[in-house]
Structure 1
């Protein structure tokens, strides 16, 4: 129950007790008692009053954002982006560190880099979230297959937990962005959506009924490896004719604007197929590639709308401005989402985060 209230305030922002009661199906007396305890523990604070429909003005409640922080790390082919994020999603610090994932002791090196960041956070640290470009068996165990790194069944989660002595959650990097949208973006208003990233690779986070769909082995959403031709260029995965081999950053590098038009047309066509399969309420486009979106957009929009069934052609597409911090903040959101992890993605690690926050339900 405390976790549910903290989770609601984390996703909705400042909310009245009446609205908390309505959203969570709790009695007003229960909400009053639980929020009183959360206020006493310094997790929740009373904010300004707002007009109500008759009677006294309603007091809003909000999270005390300094009550806890999460460390987020996005692992790339040559560096790690690291942020500390407060309860309301505010990025407090941001840094990058060189990193070679192909090194024999790469995961232990990752642990040493993160340990230096963890040491300065003391008791405020709720946990560490890590985003990687590969398949992850489960957030809690964190066993990673990342072909671009040469990682196969790499025990990232357990290695980092042993080194850091704190809860660690690991997931595919695009899934972490989808989780962050649930906390701070379109997911506040939509329960089913796609987060599509364009850049070095092409990825897709799939959210259905408010939960990130990860698939049987954590590999759902690898749309960059949809085969679009029978032959064609060789992809980084070793196959030929993959979407990513045509429209990933390496394929577009050094080519003219016409290449972006071709890429936009192909992306629109493939996404139409995904939309027909998943039936999202909205599509969010993110990633380094959106910096050039003005070159992608005309062909993408024409292709997407043409390939969608008539009833789907009004589907909203949101293009979000991009900074690298968003990757790392997405990783941190694995931790910050733990108070309302109704699907149990965080497993035992999520429970440990809730215990650190003081919201473990009994």
Structure 2
């Protein structure tokens, strides 16, 4: 099974922390949508016959800025060009400040069956700091409207470790999120990405990031509160009610094939069981459109994924998500990595960082907090 990703590179306002490619000027929208349609058609000629599509994800940017008619045109084109499963998971990212009841009704009618809201916080001063365009009230109403529109799979994105954030304040954010009964919650620590306004604010000492130990304490609170309320942690930052894990993300972590469309979108396709190729599009709407107009793909870079890199990614992605199947790794790579690291793994298990069951090594909540370090030690 494979996945499709559609990058809609427009925002009403660019948030201070965001390093995803998007612009605020929407005058190029029609030109972009025309180029997007042509990219989809051309890629389908190359890959459509090879895989059935299990998930589709409209991300950005802010896909909910598109009209229902524009979303429907892309939606129908994808179904025309690719073999999309009848029960495919089809997600639309949405900003709570860009959706009204009728818009959500129309998006659901088009065929989207999962919606993801970038809420980030239920405190208006936090939202002001993050330069979000919505209010706390609008965020809560957006989730309620989504359920009224017929969505039964709703995700909420939240950000913790904001400057000066206290444990009690973060708990209140989680309480408000849980009260809305979303089927999925993604909780991310605030990261200071290079070349963002937030990075400039930090360098100029206008903002001080939360100390790492306080960040870690908030992460522990996240795990404890969400799991207590029935959300299963199935990845470092993702929690879901049973049966509502994001299939699109799982495909990424499982090394399934995926194709990305639009500026800055990434793709991966396997040559064989443990080798493949990754490529990515240019981060410029104009350059993207110009390449399509010339009859070229807007690819600006690529890399071959050999078996050694594939193994490294298998370990890293497995640790971040459902775990690493020792038998599978040995069969695919002929690697006795785990036998070589028995002492290390035993030590980590005693320290409560991981658990081993049915030949699967999976991290605990405590282990997720130091996932990168565990992966590094295993691959030394």
- TM-score w.r.t. the length of structure 2 is 0.32
